[in-house]
Amino acid sequence: MKHTALALLAASLLCSTRALAQDEPDIVVEADHRVSGAVMVRVPVDQARAMLADPVRVAEIEGGTARIRVLSEDSCKNLHTAIAHPVASVEYTSRSCPTANGFHTKLVQSDTLEDFEAEWTVEEVEGGTLLRYVVRTIPRIAVPQFIVDRQSKGSVKQLLQRVKVHLEAPLR
């Protein structure tokens, strides 16, 4: 367990360092199936955090096939997510809560997922804000894990790219 935490920290720091040096998100897939990426955006931290606080809006910005609905809200949001994918459709309920540095989402119930966890971290850096996203998806259905990891890698990269474009776009 300690080794996994150290590996995640090292991957996160590597992604963070690369993200500061370039505009393109750097994506890492870990042995425990966590997919992490980071990108720097040239906006204040509060602006980035406000946008990420709305998971429905984030899904719209991503432009994928995920449809998210807020089921209930207190300090956290209970969410229902449906993803239509050619290989398999996935539905799950999760709980997304604010953290000191971002947002953490954890699986509550699913017939198609064994585990799902996602975390956004938002960090103020010189010249803007560093966004980090880590997701881990373990299917309960007959889809090989390497396919899920590869799909997650592409999705994380696309998500970070689109969030960056959205946040940095001039107001219309």
Q: Which residues contact 104 (CB under 8 A, 6 or more apart)?
A: 96, 97, 117, 118, 119
Domains of the chain and CATH, by start: 33-168 (3.30.530.20)
Spatial CA neighbour of 164 closest among 14, 16, 23: 23
Q: What is the pLDDT of residues 7-47, one digit of tens each?
A: 444 444 444 444 444 578 889 999 999 999 999 999 999 99
State the Cα–Cα distance between residues 115 and 109, nearest whole angstrom. Answer: 9
Global pTM reads: 0.83
Q: What is the pLDDT of residues 87-133, one digit of tens each?
A: 778 899 999 999 999 999 999 999 999 999 999 999 999 999 999 99
Q: Output the CA torsion 50→55→57→58 (10° steps).
A: 90
